[in-house]
C-alpha cells in the first residue's frame, strides 16, 4: 500500500502484515468454518460459498488431510509475548544506518528506498516476534529532503493501550531526513 509522494518531496510507504492475505499470489485467503454437511453423508468443512457439486474438483487437487483450526479464545498476550519495542527500535536503527548512511536525497531513488527499508524492517521485526505471534505489524517509513525546514510526523490510532505498542526512529543527515514507525497491534 503506497500512500504516495507529495510535492514537498516526501515519500511515504506503508507495509501491512499479511495475515489473511496470500502475499505470494496477492489474493484473499478464505477462512474455512467448522460447519458440517448433514443429510448428504458428507462430513466436509464448508465455507458456505461453494456448492456441493464443486467439492469433488477441489478434493481431487488436495493431498493429505485438511487442517481445521479452532479458536484459542486468547484475549491477552502472555508476558513473554509482549511486543519488543526496544528491539524494533534497534532493528530500525540498523536498517536506517545500513541504507541511508551516506545517501543523498533524490526523489526517484527514495521511492524505492522507502519500499526496501519498509519491507526489511517488517520482515526483521516479524522474525524477532517468531512464528506464534499474535501481533499485526504495520511499518511506516517517510524520507524527505532536508532543506532546513521543520517537519512534524503525527499519527493517531485506535487501539488497546495495555497490549498494543509502537517503536519509532529518526535519522537525518545534511541531505535527507527519515522517520520510521513500527506498530505492533495485538489481535485475537
pLDDT tens string 94-130? 999 999 998 999 989 999 999 999 999 999 999 998 8
Position 13 confidence tier, pLDDT thresholds 50, 70, 90: low
How many other CB atoms sit within 10 Å of the CB of residue 181? 20
Written as nine digits, the cell of 185 is 497491534
Please state, for a pLDDT cut of 90, what percent of the chain lies above it: 38
What's the average model confidence in pLDDT over 17-23? 43
Q: How many CB atoms lie within 10 A of CB 13?
A: 24
Q: Mind giving me the DSSP string for 116-131? A: HHHHHHHHHHHHHH-T
Task: Kindly report which listed range (42-46, 58-62, 99-103) carries the lowest average pLDDT score.
Answer: 42-46
* Mean pLDDT score, 53-77: 68
Q: Which of 9-23, 51-65, 160-174 is modeled with the greatest confidence?
A: 160-174
Q: What is the pTM of this model?
A: 0.63
- d(Cα 139, Cα 137) in Å, to the nearest integer? 7
Dist CA 171 CA 184 (whole Å): 21
Amino acid at each position: 500500500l503506497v500512500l504516495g509522494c507529495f510535492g514537498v518531496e516526501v515519500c511515504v510507504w506503508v507495509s501491512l502484515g499479511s495475515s489473511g492475505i496470500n502475499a505470494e499470489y496477492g489474493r484473499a485467503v478464505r477462512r474455512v468454518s467448522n460447519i458440517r454437511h448433514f443429510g448428504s453423508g458428507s462430513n466436509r468443512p464448508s465455507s458456505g460459498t461453494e456448492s456441493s457439486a464443486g467439492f469433488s474438483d477441489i478434493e481431487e487437487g488436495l493431498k493429505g488431510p485438511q487442517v481445521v483450526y479452532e479458536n484459542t479464545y486468547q484475549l491477552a498476550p502472555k508476558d513473554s509475548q509482549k511486543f519488543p519495542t526496544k528491539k524494533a527500535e534497534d532493528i530500525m536503527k540498523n536498517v536506517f544506518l545500513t541504507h541511508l548512511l551516506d545517501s543523498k536525497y533524490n526523489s526517484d531513488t527514495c521511492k524505492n528506498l522507502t519500499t526496501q527499508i519498509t519491507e526489511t524492517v517488517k520482515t526483521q521485526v516479524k522474525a524477532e516476534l517468531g512464528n506464534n505471534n499474535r501481533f499485526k505489524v504495520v511499518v511506516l517509513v517517510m524520507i524527505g529532503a532536508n532543506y532546513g525546514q521543520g517537519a512534524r510526523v503525527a499519527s493517531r490510532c485506535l487501539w488497546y493501550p495495555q497490549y498494543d505498542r509502537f517503536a519509532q526512529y529518526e535519522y537525518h543527515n545534511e541531505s535527507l531526513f527519515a522517520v520510521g514507525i513500527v506498530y505492533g497491534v495485538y489481535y485475537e
